[in-house]
Chain A
Amino acid sequence: NAGVTQTPKFRVLKTGQSMTLLCAQDMNHEYMYWYRQDPGMGLRLIHYSVGEGTTAKGEVPDGYNVSRLKKQNFLLGLESAAPSQTSVYFCASATGTEAFFGQGTRLTVV
């Protein structure tokens, strides 16, 4: 079982460039999430989705956009990358009692 798969695993961007992170889950979960992990700050929720076609803002949404056109996919976009967006990004999908995480995307903005 693949579970939650994130693409790409690593990326280096120049300031001002754009990119999209892809998250795919094969567990038929309704709920999907994007978190970022920074040193000393744990995981912080960027955006989330409670079902196909829906998205909502989390704790730190500024500078990011998301889309959930298909139930199994949740895309995170950076329109104009900034050095402050250097982080490790984790996607998750969830049932009522457990959240399953992808392996992470390490993004560096220079």
Chain B
Amino acid sequence: DQQVKQNSPSLSVQEGRISILNCDYTNSMFDYFLWYKKYPAEGPTFLISISSIKDKNEDGRFTVFLNKSAKHLSLHIVPSQPGDSAVYFCAASNQGAQKLVFGQGTRLTINP
């Protein structure tokens, strides 16, 4: 029973364009959501988060949108850069950053 789902295993985007990564969740008790970025042979690193009291959070080139009624969130990266090529994990919790539940990950490739 996958409570957090990232249905796209991979995504390829041209440099300079917008990358949109999607995430769906089933547990209505989740109230805090995070995105992590992972390079090969490294641990995941925190990218951006959003609380359920908001529907948008922006940090530089990264924006996370939350649609509570649809139980859906998305990460927008604009403009996309080659260094953004990595695996992106969506995570959720009902206890802040405690006991995070992760999606399967989406491998983003930025093409020159």
The interface of chain A, by Cβ under 8 A from chain B, is 4, 31, 33, 35, 40-45, 48, 50, 58, 90, 92, 94-104
> In the bound complex, do residue A45 and residue B41 qualify as a contact, i.e. CB atoms below 8 Å apart?
no
> In the bound complex, do residue B99 and residue A48 qualify as a contact, i.e. CB atoms below 8 Å apart?
yes
Q: B66 to chain A: closest CB distance in Å?
A: 15
How many chain B residues sit at the interface, stated as a range, is: 20 to 34
> In the bound complex, do residue B49 and residue A98 qualify as a contact, i.e. CB atoms below 8 Å apart?
yes
> In the bound complex, do residue B96 and residue A96 qualify as a contact, i.e. CB atoms below 8 Å apart?
yes
> In the bound complex, do residue A98 and residue B98 qualify as a contact, i.e. CB atoms below 8 Å apart?
no
CA distance in complex: A31, B95 (Å): 12
Most B CB within 10 A of own CB, among A42, A44, A58, A90: A42
B42 at interface, CB cutoff 8 A: yes
Residues of B within 8 A of A90 (CB): 43-44
